[in-house]
Chain A
Amino acid sequence: MKNFGISIREVKNIRVLDISGELDAHTASQLENSLKALIDQNEIHIIVNCKALDYIASAGLGVFMAYIEDVRGMGGDIKLTNMSERVYNVFDLLGFPTLYDIHEDESEAVTGFDK
């Protein structure tokens, strides 16, 4: 049974969510709960590292759509990194690269928060 997983670590006061597996309409609520918990604690410098993410459907993208305005409005950001070509292609089809800060590597996103 394929699944979805999230673990959270901290890098320079930034919360990094490592997400893995398949993100679809069934598993999106797990990501949503984690993001919401961080935002509720005023942790608004967030990186979602997609290195181990094998698959994403639009329900997964919907989670990012629901929270980015709030986070940016509070002075933070949700940056996305380390996507496989297949996962990036879904974001690209929907025009996300012009609306979200997407980086090839996590270190670039960390630097981006310093600016």
Chain B
Amino acid sequence: MTSKLTLTKSNNIYSLSVEASTSQLAKVRDFVAEHAERLGLSDKEIGNIRLAVDEAYTNIIKHAYKNIPAKPVKIELGSDSSQLWISIKDEGESFDVQAYNEPDIRQRIKNKQRGGMGVYLIRKLMDSVQYTRTGHMNEIRMIKHL
């Protein structure tokens, strides 16, 4: 039983396809948390991964797809002995990571602005974050070292 589990951990990639909708947020969070738990991560690390994935998926809904419903999002998760990786793909507008500035929360409160905090949180919560665009597909790839 133990050896089978090890094999699963090293070879399998788990994927979940959902439409871009905030109604799917809890489902997406639970999907990644379930697999992170199997890898023996601590509750704190699992919480961090849940939040990072929530923020990335929320950004896709709001910014890549501009809240247009029924657009596709694919979440993949895999791991080897040294890392857990999570990839989220969409076909919406690309995100220019170079143009992103760390949010000044005090200023945003003053201007009654909200948002703009997700990318910053993802960077804080994960060990590595990469954004790529291939053809019409955007990918955010987040890595947590094990």
Q: Which A residues are within 8 Å of any B CB, using their own CB?
A: 1-2, 22, 24-26, 55, 57-59, 61-63, 65-66, 68-70, 86, 90, 93-96, 99
The answer to whether B105 and A69 have CB atoms under 8 Å apart is no
The answer to whether B58 and A94 have CB atoms under 8 Å apart is no
The answer to whether A58 and B115 have CB atoms under 8 Å apart is yes
Q: How many residues of B contact A (CB 8 A)?
A: 30
Bound-complex Cα distance A60 to B112 (A): 14
The answer to whether A62 and B25 have CB atoms under 8 Å apart is no
The answer to whether A69 and B112 have CB atoms under 8 Å apart is yes
Residue B120 is within 8 A (CB to CB) of chain A in the complex? yes
Q: A25-B54, A86-B44 are in contact. List 8 more A-B contacts (CB 8 A).
A: A24-B26, A26-B23, A55-B29, A57-B58, A65-B113, A69-B109, A90-B121, A99-B109
Bound-complex Cα distance A96 to B58 (A): 21
Q: How many Å from the CB of A51 to the closest CB on chain B?
A: 17
The answer to whether A55 and B117 have CB atoms under 8 Å apart is no
Q: Please provide the chain B residues from 93 to 139 with a CB less than 8 Å away from any CB of chain A in the complex.
A: 103, 105-106, 108-110, 112-115, 117-118, 120-121, 124-125
Q: How many Å from the CB of A45 to the closest CB on chain B?
A: 19
